[in-house]
Structure 1
Amino acid sequence: MSRQVFCRKYQQEMEGLDFPPFPGAKGQAFFETVSKQAWQEWLKHQTTLINEKRLNVFEADAKKFLEEQREKFLSNDDSVEKAEGWKPEA
């Protein structure tokens, strides 16, 4: 049976990540509170942001922007950046 977590994005018990997404306390916090589905959706959204905004992920400003967007995305904050021309699904 897969590991279950109470996902902070979906506010319900869901399948958890297989391992922390990165080392340290923040990675452990995501491991304990973010579902596998929410994390996969974030990775897809992050890729869209990187491509759409032509971010250099090695620059401090880009890293900070993505960290802020990740928090907003996983917290269901309405102010999360969307890709240009993005329309919500019906």
Structure 2
Amino acid sequence: MSRTVFCRKYKQELEGLERPPYPGPKGQLIFDTISKQAWQEWTDHQTMLINEKHLSLMDPKTREFLSEEMEKFMDGEDFEKAEGYVPPSK
């Protein structure tokens, strides 16, 4: 049976991550409070932000920006979107 967590994004019990995505307390907090589904949605959105905004992960300001946006995304607040992005049609 898979592990479940009360997801702070979806406010319900959902399947949890298999392991913390980062070392340290921040990774443990994500592991304890974010579902696998919410984490996958965030990583997809983060990838789009990096690509569409041409962000460099070498820049500490970029990493700080992405961390802040992740918090907003997980808390259901208004988060940054890529301007002009049109999802591919199916």
TM-score normalized by the length of structure 2? 0.92
Question: Would you say how many aligned residue pairs link Structure 1 and Structure 2?
Answer: 86
Q: Does 1:84 align with 2:83?
A: yes
Which SS does the other structure have where 1:10 is aligned?
Answer: coil
Q: Does 1:28 align with 2:28?
A: yes
Aligned to 2:54: 54
* CA gap 1:50/1:39 in 2 versus in 1, 3 angstroms: same
Percentage identity across paired residues of the two chains: 60
Aligned to 1:67: 67
Alpha-carbon distance between aligned partners in 2 of 1:56 and 1:10, rounded to the nearest angstrom: 30
Give ranges in structure 2 of 5+ residues lacking alignment.
none
TM-score normalized by the length of structure 1? 0.92
Alpha-carbon distance between aligned partners in 2 of 1:86 and 1:72, rounded to the nearest angstrom: 20
Give ranges in structure 1 of 5+ residues lacking alignment.
none
